[in-house]
Amino acid sequence: MSYVIAGYSVVFATLGAYAGWMLRRRRRLSRSLGVGSGRWRP
């Protein structure tokens, strides 16, 4: 079972870390460019 726990942990920890990095970077960039989250323009 330890291999199973290791497999699940690697997947969810990596995805969580990647998503967290992305959201933090987006928030930082939005703030520095003066773009509010409600003013999203594709």
Distances (CA, A) of 1 to 7, 8, 9, 12, 27: 10, 11, 12, 17, 39
Terminal Cα distance for the chain, rounded = 46
Kindly state whether residue 20 participates in binding another protein, applying the rule CB under 8 A. Answer: no
Least separation in angstroms between CB 7 and another protein: 5
Kindly state whether residue 23 participates in binding another protein, applying the rule CB under 8 A. Answer: yes
Interacting residues toward another protein by CB under 8 A: 1, 3-4, 6-8, 10-12, 14-15, 18-19, 22-23, 25-26, 29-30, 32-33, 35, 37, 40-42
